[in-house]
Structure 1
Amino acid sequence: MEIFFGAFTSEWEQRRAALLHEMSSGGRGASAEEEMRKRLKQLAQLGATGGGGGSSGASGGRGSASKGRAAPRAQATSATTVTRPMEARLAAVAKGSQPAVVKMASYGGGARVGAMLNYVSRGGELKVENESGRILEGRKELARIRGDWEHLFQNRAESRDIGSFSVEIAASDVASEEALHEQVRSTLTSGFGDRRYAYAIAKNDGGSVTVQGLVVLRSGQGERLTGDVKAAGIIQGRYDASAAVGEAAAKFSFHGYGNGVEFGASRLRGLVDRHDDVRDDRGQPIANEKVAGDLVQKEWRGELHSRKSRDVMHVIMSARAGTDVAAFEGAVRDFLAHQFAGHRYVFAMHDPASDPKEAEEGGKRPHVHAHAIVAMKSDSGDRIQTTPAVFREWRSVMAEKAREHGIEMEMTDRREFAAPPAFTRTQVRPVSREGRTEHVGTSGRPG
């Protein structure tokens, strides 16, 4: 079978394909490697994109990069990556070059720009530089940025993920506390359907009860409630038409809504703090704040399908402790100008020597780093695309600009080191820090 190496977007994938093909043909891996070298050399001479950038050069970091002047720069980036083969990059790392670190910290809507700029500038105490090289200092100048960028924002409303509700249930004959909980869950499920929820019960004079809780507004079939008076009317109608209405009369109402896991976890922890007995839709007790956070993080997260406006993004570029600060600032400036040409952005350096924020408050980190706030939409209407291939291109360009400023830096990929991604805090937790740290899994799935 003929292998078309150009179909693979990275040198690492091409090498693996060549080696597997040679092995499956009964040949030797060494000859496959030699063939791979020849073909990569041919691709480089032809200006193909077989290196790290793949086809992302045409779209990397600048939306539709075929428009305006961004396209030639993107193509040049791919060509630059081809001239830095994996052997050269890994050999440089082995000799002490530091890896390029460019991280996407977060996205935000237009309303969040002020808070993000306040963090980046340390409340206006650090100088901030914009895309034209102008230095902005003080809160007053920073406050004008949002107005200058307003025309670039979609101002898209955040999704309503979790609603706060209450239900008044008339008195009924129940034999025990457990029977009361079963009746409450029957009432709630008749109205909410298959939505996940958590609740607490407060008994009133006369035998009626008030149920307070939180419900995921999106159903398993994709129907999303709005968490307001209109949604309460929909739920009330469904309950009144159900068989459960024969057990007891119930009145549903919503009292607010919010977006995302953090909102849900915060509200559920508050519910646990106010009530002694909080349970979920399956009758499981939510005993403490940790259980409340885990329920939202691990079980409700997949049901939320949160949507937030992505008007700006927060990008962090960092270097090792001891890196020349002035050189790194120049590299960051050139990287942003190259990668986000046509976009509005600002950046600020966080140097441990001049950071006004104390270490115990999260400042004065030992390594120098830069924070950038970038408008996702350019003045010409292009939007930045963020994909793994684009992030790889960012690191490649950052490494190139750093080398131009005398900093030994290379783009690296964990696949080239045969290293799996690190476990996240939701997968393992430390159980011993004496000597070598030991971990145990946090889920019931076999390891």
Structure 2
Amino acid sequence: MAHDWSGLLGAIEAYSVRRASSLIDEDEELRRRRSAALRIESQAPEQRFMPTGIASKARRSAVPASGPTIASILQPPQSSQRGVIALVGALGAQRDRDDDDENLRSTGGGGGGGGASSAARLDLPARIVRERSAVEATSRAAIAAGAQPVVIKVTSTVSSRASAAGLMTYLGTREVEKENGEKGKTDIPIYDQDGLAIASREDRAAALETWSANFREAYAVNALATFSINLADVVDDDVLHDALNTAFGSKPFLYSRHLGGKVSVYAVTDLPAKRIASALRAREKAEGPGRAVENAEGDFARRLAEAGVTAEVRILGAAVSEKSGRYFLEKFLRTEKAITTSEGDPVKGGASVKARADGVWQAWSSHIRTVEPRNAFHVIFSARAGTDPEAMKRAVRDFLSEQVAGHRWITAHHPDTGHVHVHAMISARDDVGKALRLTKPELYEWRERFAAKAREHGIAMVATRRADVAATRPYSQAQAGAYERGRSDPRYLKTPTVNNRVERKRAGVVDRASLTSGNLALAPTWQAAASALKRAGAEPSVIAAADRFATAATAQAPQAVARASGFVLLRVEVEQTMERETVAVIVEGALGVEAKSISAEGKSVQVLAPTTASVSKIERELAGQNEEFGPGSESRSVAQSFRARLLAHGLRATVVVEAAGSAKHGAPSPWLQKRFDAVAHATETSAERPFVLSKSVIVTIQQRKEKNMALSLEQFDERVSKANKSMDRLETMVDSSAERQAVEEMRQEISALFAEQRRDIQMQQMRSAADAAGEAGTPPTARAEEPRTQDRAAPTVDPAIADQQQAIATGRATRAAREQAGAAKNAQGEQRQQILRQAEQERQRGNDRDGAER
């Protein structure tokens, strides 16, 4: 009996590899425990870190779970970090192979480089959506295998030196409990971008000096200005007071009268602070006319004149920051006498100048608009409890070295928390002055890159979205503080909404609304994750975890469709070869739309579907969409959900959102319905035109079938062969099975007509032969008719075949006209998108100007 020894040898080799990796893991764990023991022994015995954060909250009480949790649904297996990382790599390799296969299919096997690149450019949004969907499917599969999600939080920003000093103190100190039970602060080392330790209060002060040297101060939007007013005539105090209130409007001010008709004023104005200050410097140094100042002075003089006071107004100075504004206020209070407020009350003396300035500044604070600059960010990188902190610190430092190169940053690890937290303070501008942006798209990109960096250091992490696992909404620091205070102080006012939000998030309770959302379509997306795990050869327990989540989402699916907040116009590009009617039926059942909202032509389907997503956000994303950035997050989420629903019904397709509109009484907006109707009408017209032309061919042949043919049989057969080839090309112009069947019936009818004409040609040739044999005995009357027969020109082309070829040529011309109309329509769409983008840019610039003025 023969045995397959190769399989046995392969099993032995696989076991040896697994055994060697397990020994390596055991050795690393033993070394880590020994090093941890050494660190604990080397620590001062009289100090013990006080638990903070989640650890301190867990000690008080456990948070009750008010529903099924993510962990209870998934029940992820206890997999090793290396095993999960290897699975993520296998899923990524499988995704790359699928992308390569898709590129080969789209380019027709690699031929025609120019056409392939042009098709890739035209299909860029669809390709971006497909790649994003594949990445998210990989992340869900990794979560089912036990990987932990990346958590990166921007908790606060640093606007001043004082806030930077407070953040450095928080990062570099910890609360400890001594042997005698007393609590105190102790320094812990923090490290900068060069790896240098900042381990003491003096080191933090030196680092703060370096950081704050490049800090930008808070600046004023509206200027606090010092005025000198020279009255042309003698003016009563009451008249002057009323005129100043008229000139400065509702803004507060201080003024003092001098001998000779001079009045000094310090006021809050609506003048742009930086522009006025720059114009004052230019006028002082004779570097320019300072038109902004001159216009402002003329405007104030005009207002005084309207109030009945003729005077010359001159602006002496303008404060551009809170610091300079308080300085000029104290100077005005110190140098001027008999100062009066805008309410007509005298400023009392006796107190110190600083005390009087504090009172005035507090009263004016609501009228002064300032902007607090972002000089640094406080970012927290979090991992689950039990994660190797040393590996986490190395991953964070490697990530920051690559991601924020040129910026100053420091990191700190606080070991007294339940989870592994690595804090980072990152400067907002790099060494060349470029600002760091941390918006939602940038943070998602950060999570993806940090997940890859963490896997390099042996931590199984993936970047996920909150909606991928139907997680509840996060809570803010203020809500967490209110919750903790309410637990310790029963008299503190608290609301059930805040309590439920904090407790459900900490317990990991599933958000039922997200789990059953039709737009998110978690059931088909998790089914796709399970399929990806099967193709990657994952363990059955991992596949079962993904199936459990898909089953939970399916079981909780509501029967009633949620009321749509709007409608979207989708372009569905079917990847499979299917009948047009079959595609329409699948789309109708998968997306829950009526047949009148579907228009199919070939593999392209236009669908007008309801959605509960933010229509206004989709419209803004479509207006700003281009080839460089592709679709926005909301458009991508909607397209992904519809694609998943189609995939659940067995239809592989790419979905792109082309337009969006609001819903009025359960129906799409008129302009969106009109756009869909135009597309549907063009599709129906182009689909019916070849069918109508083919019908006209038979009618023409039937009308001319009685005409005589002066062709030989060889010539007729050759022309019939050409006609059949043209008929084959005509058949490719129709799409549905019904049209193809009709064309086949036409082909049979035309073949019967050609057979009848062939018999006529044969009979004509037989008569010609008989006439030639009996030419000698031809009667005179017949010979008299012969010249007229010879004068008749014999046709050289079959008229029926010529009409058929003409119909085919007309069909080709129609198709070319349809393609040209489609190209013109695309050009109009691109022009409209350009107009919308320009309008959105103008609106954004207007918002930026309004924000700067505020």
Normalised TM-score (structure 2): 0.28
Say which one has the larger Rg: 2
Which fold has the larger relative contact order, with Cα–Cα distance below 8 Å and residues 6 or more apart in sequence?
Answer: 1
Please state which structure has a larger fraction of its residues in helix.
2
Q: Normalization by structure 1: what TM-score?
A: 0.47
